[in-house]
Amino acid sequence: MSTGGQAHRSGPSHRPGPYHPGERAVQHRAGRTDRADHSGRAVGSTIPAVAARFLTERRVLVAGAADADGRLWATQLSGPAGFLRAADERTVTVAARPAGADPLAATLAGPAEVGTIALDPAGRRRMRVNGRSVPDGRGGLVISADQVYANCPKYIQRRHPADRPEAGAPRRVAAGSALSTAQQLWLSTADTFFVATAGPDGAMDASHRGGDPGFLRALGPDRLRWPDYAGNSMFMTLGNLELDPRAGLLVPDWETGGALLITGEARTDWSGPAAAGLPGAERVVDLAVTGVVELADATPLAWTGPEYSPANPPGARRSVS
């Protein structure tokens, strides 16, 4: 899916062009400036008809934002097909908001900068809409888009959704400042997570990360590491982290509808030895964990077992029990 449109990223500061200085710095260091310029042509400020149709068919939207303390979190919103709609070329309506147990419940009850990503695991498609969110007065959200673009299908594991009639309201199972042993084991089996970051002008972004189980590693209760694989060379996540280390992770449990939400500060390790320790990595990202919230019934959906992406680097998978 291609959204097209002229490259533009207005954001709160109405900065021209698709990239800020942090993104440019990472693109230059990686030697991918020309490729980034090409990819940047797909970044638009409006929602084309093909993108509007894509949104209407989706069941899940991942949203990233900052809480009242400035910590970043990523969470998921879900509903029947049609719960997402493009009201016009600059506006997305969402017929859902985070439940009270969610760290972003209070944030999204008022105006907020948000980064969102709509994912289609079955079709290996994804689309990002970043902008400003306000409550709609009916338990949902209205997002004014500043940045709209589709991403390639790399690293998306194919899955199909099914409703869970027994699902209850989202509820908090555990919360703390570090990962429990059980949560570390959860992460060791993950093949997908989402990461929220913030730009220098306060604009939010939410991005997808995927790989074979074991690509996301818990190095202890307060430290995570994951590989940065070859992508579209835009480096919007790493570019944000270049200037602002705050990050929020969402790790879904595709079988049960649960979710692990993690906040902390991240840095990119460009050293050869670090990348050599993770198959397929061009560089790695380390996250210092400062907060964890585990939710049950975060979504009323369950998903089929994965068909791993052919783009996942060989040798990345580790045996898990």
Q: For residue 71, what is the enclosing H or E element?
A: none
Structure tokens at 184: 């570390």
Asked if the model's pLDDT at residue 152 lies above 80, the reply is yes
Which homologous superfamily does the CATH classification assign to the domain defined by 21-303? Answer: Electron Transport, Fmn-binding Protein; Chain A (2.30.110.10)
Structure tokens at 159: 């899955």
- pTM exceeds cut of 0.75: yes
**pLDDT tens string 176-185:** 999 999 999 9
**pLDDT tens string 116-149:** 999 999 999 999 999 999 999 999 999 999 999 9
Cα dihedral 207, 210, 214, 215 sign: negative
Asked if the model's pLDDT at residue 2 lies above 50, the reply is no
Angle between helices 236-243 and 21-30 (to 10 degrees): 110
Structure tokens at 197: 């970051």
Q: How many residues does the chain have?
A: 321
Q: Cβ distance 46 to 184 under 8 Å?
A: no
**pLDDT tens string 239-289:** 999 999 999 999 999 999 999 999 999 999 999 999 998 999 999 999 999
* Closest C-alpha among 102, 84, 97, 98 to residue 47: 84
**pLDDT tens string 165-198:** 999 999 999 999 999 999 999 999 999 999 999 9
Region of 154 please: left (phi>0), alpha (psi -120 to 50) or beta: beta
Cα dihedral 295, 299, 303, 306 sign: negative
Structure tokens at 7: 């490259």
Where along the chain do its domains lie?
A: 21-303
pLDDT at 317: 52
pLDDT at 214: 94
Q: Cβ distance 201 to 12 under 8 Å?
A: yes
